Structure 1
């Protein structure tokens, strides 16, 4: 059994200490094999905010940690940095790789950098990125859980969120489903949901799930939804996947199970 902790949109600079403490406690209790942070690590891409994020992640009890940038991780007001060194602070803290990957006998994780310095909030996935991810997916072993991580969503529930959809998402969904992807992890809109893309897109002919995370520790919650993260439990022998959405409960100062879903995999 492999356990993956999926968090997103920490927005350091707007973090809440009680929620951070609860998340560290959850990780200490669960001891996930992998922690994945799907972008918007910081609120304004400032050096001190990245330092706070790194300090927090260093305390997070997970054997492997993968982080991709979000649109907030590129300077907004520092125009010079946005043009000439958009990932400077990110790379100083997390290294040069903007699209980290990980693979073991149970899990394949492929990060995709969907940010673009010339866009404000929108994300984009290029044809080259789609093809590169597809090739990697096709190299996975039959028993691996195949995960693609993006920041902006490839599917949204609400009409008002359609402007947040990843540019190129339809081509990406079709290609990655055909290449064998099981899950897409995303964030950006601070709303948590789990949906089977086979039921939403005609080009998808096999189970293929989007798992969206809310904001993990930031005060920037939406629709009065609590802070949330996802726990993904995968049994490679059965190719069985359970996703638990964990919401922060202010009364107990803990993350508790709010949704438990068994995902059908191909």
Structure 2
């Protein structure tokens, strides 16, 4: 084993969120609720009822803080709730009104103190990784106390309405850039224009649409650390927005940026 790999393995332990004791009774009741729902042939309109990403990786990659303003893909709401634990202001968006309604209902359940159904609602199964992450009283209490910091919006992350076109310190993209066929450089560029200098973007799969004019740089060490974490089917990447002082680096980058914005540049 190389010294670099040993260092990365030690870094991953320090980078991942601290382990809290799992509430075994809550975990058991949530899993029993899922089984009862399966026996009753219960159905839900939501397509995504639970994330299949590793939440610890997302938290380690984005490092949410109280002062953060985070734009996040909603899906089941798992990631938005996890980010809210740290007091960040989270704007969860999804083009599916059904997914937004599903996440809002889960927030209502937790706000009402029903942690069991917050974990189990609408699910045909409950992944061990997800239930182990959330079934911890200090964590659920923190999320519950910060629910007013999370808002849910029916919106396309690549075509946001005016009220959501603001400055964000971090963006959780998941794999949205691959989920829709026609997401090219222009769409990714427009999205990253909303990201503050030195801001972070987390993608479940490496982003190929970035170009020099987007001013996004892969955080290599952070990306390697979170990829070493076991039990994940994704290949996540974390990018950092370069400061404004580095925006203009020669005539070629200037031409690229103006071309990306659809303007004509003289030779």
Please give the range of the TM-score, normalised by the shorter of the 2 chains.
Answer: 0.3 to 0.5
More helix by share: 2
**TM-score normalised to the size of structure 2?**
0.35
